[in-house]
Amino acid sequence: MENNLIELNNCGVVRNQKWLVRGVSLKVSQGEIVTLIGPNGSGKSTTAKMCLNILKPDEGFNTIKDDIRISYVPQKISIDWSLPLRVIDFVNLVIKHKNSEISDALNMTGIKHLIYEDVRNLSGGEFQRLLMARAIAKEPHFLVLDEPVQGVDYPGEIALYKTIQKFVKKINCGILLISHNLHVVMSQTDYVICLNGHVCCAGTPKTVIKDQEYIKLFGDSIDPTLAFYEHNHDHEHLPDGSIDESKRV
């Protein structure tokens, strides 16, 4: 599998006689950003979990390259109140890092001043930055980001995306990014996959930064970090998520 870090081949997961997601094929190679988009419950996180081998596909097969370092930024983490956990300890959770590495990573996401703070005193956005910092500190070969900017304000969102970009250039890792936004993806994304229980459409994002409509929509805050993804489905979904065969093109 040459320089593919991970590969899903026609994968699906079934729970309680229902397919959460089915027929997903994707691959991420070194230095590449692949973005998954789709509505709630479309199987984005499930797909990410197959890429990480947290879930074994019930159909198809997943391959992960041997001996690669993986970092995962999960969608949600709740820390039990009984557990005292400082920012520095959280960064050291899976691998013990040097202090200089830790402060570099925290610096990159802008929360260096919180290094000895208890994790539960962080705000939602600060915690999201901490998750990113931990993932970066590991210098992974493959990084999975499950909605990494949720709860982060708009300027912060752009800053975090910029950090991701800088980071990809620096260590040349492969990234699987799950976006909560249906249309706006990172301009650096090499490949977009739109999911809704299956792969609806996939392709490269069109660079429409100079588009007047885009500027109207986002005003002054447009940033070359983001781009539109133009959808190109050949079908429509009914309210329950199943495919409306009568309207299929």
Q: What residue ranges bind other proteins (CB under 8 A)?
A: 49, 52-54, 69-72, 74, 77, 79-80, 82-86, 89-90, 93-94, 118, 138, 144
For residue 73, the minimal CB distance to other proteins (Å) is 9
For residue 138, the minimal CB distance to other proteins (Å) is 8
Q: How many CB atoms lie within 10 A of CB 204?
A: 12
Residue 225 · residue 186 · CB < 8 Å: yes
Residue 30 tokens, joined: 């070194």
Beta bridge partners of residue 221, listed in sequence order = none
Query: Judged by CB, which is closer to other proteins: 71, or 225?
Result: 71
Q: How far apart are alpha carbons 167 and 133 in whole angstroms?
A: 11
Q: How far apart are alpha carbons 138 and 90 in whole angstroms?
A: 12
For residue 80, the minimal CB distance to other proteins (Å) is 6
Pairing of strands 184-186, 226-228: antiparallel
Query: Judged by CB, which is closer to other proteins: 108, or 119?
Result: 119
Residue 8 · residue 60 · CB < 8 Å: yes
For residue 134, the minimal CB distance to other proteins (Å) is 9
3-state class percentages of the chain: helix first, strand second, coil last, to nearest 5: 30, 30, 40
Query: Judged by CB, which is closer to other proteins: 74, or 235?
Result: 74
Query: Judged by CB, which is closer to other proteins: 119, or 159?
Result: 119
For residue 223, the minimal CB distance to other proteins (Å) is 30
For residue 74, the minimal CB distance to other proteins (Å) is 6
Query: Judged by CB, which is closer to other proteins: 64, or 199?
Result: 64
Query: Judged by CB, which is closer to other proteins: 72, or 229?
Result: 72
E-strand stretches of the chain = 4-15, 18-29, 33-37, 59-64, 70-73, 142-146, 174-178, 184-186, 191-195, 199-203, 226-228, 236-237, 243-244
